[in-house]
Amino acid sequence: MNITDIPFGTTDWSTVEATEHPGTTGKAFWRTRQFGNIRVRLLEYTPGYLSDHWCSKGHILFCVEGQLDTALADGRTFTLKPGMSYQVADGAEPHRSSTAIGAKLFVVD
């Protein structure tokens, strides 16, 4: 990834309006900033959240709070706890997120 044409700046995430995205169960709240072709998000998943789709978008994801369970289409599963991250390329392994207890995530894609 080349990060170009983005001047230095800060983000106070508490001032970025959250948008609601329902899952199959539970809800996701996204606070999103767009910098050229790079999307940066602070996501909050409610307890019991299950994504309504398999995602093929690439991400770098960091777990800030809670616990995130990620299933890959090939059957593997991974659990992120605070301080853990994952990364996946565009078009690589389709993945689907869920959380029993809720999660807060920082995502760059």
List, for residues 40-95, the tens digit of each pLDDT value.
999 999 999 999 999 999 999 999 999 999 999 999 999 999 999 999 999 999 99
Q: What is the 3-state secondary structure (H, E, C) of the chain?
A: CCCCCCCCCCCCHHHCCEEEEECCECEEEEEEEEECCEEEEEEEECCCEECCCCECCCEEEEEEEECEEEEECCCCEEEECCCCEEEECCCCCCEEEEECCCEEEEEEC
Homologous superfamily of domain range 19-108: Jelly Rolls (2.60.120.10)
User: Residue ranges per domain, the chain?
Assistant: 19-108
Residue 4: its pLDDT value, please?
85
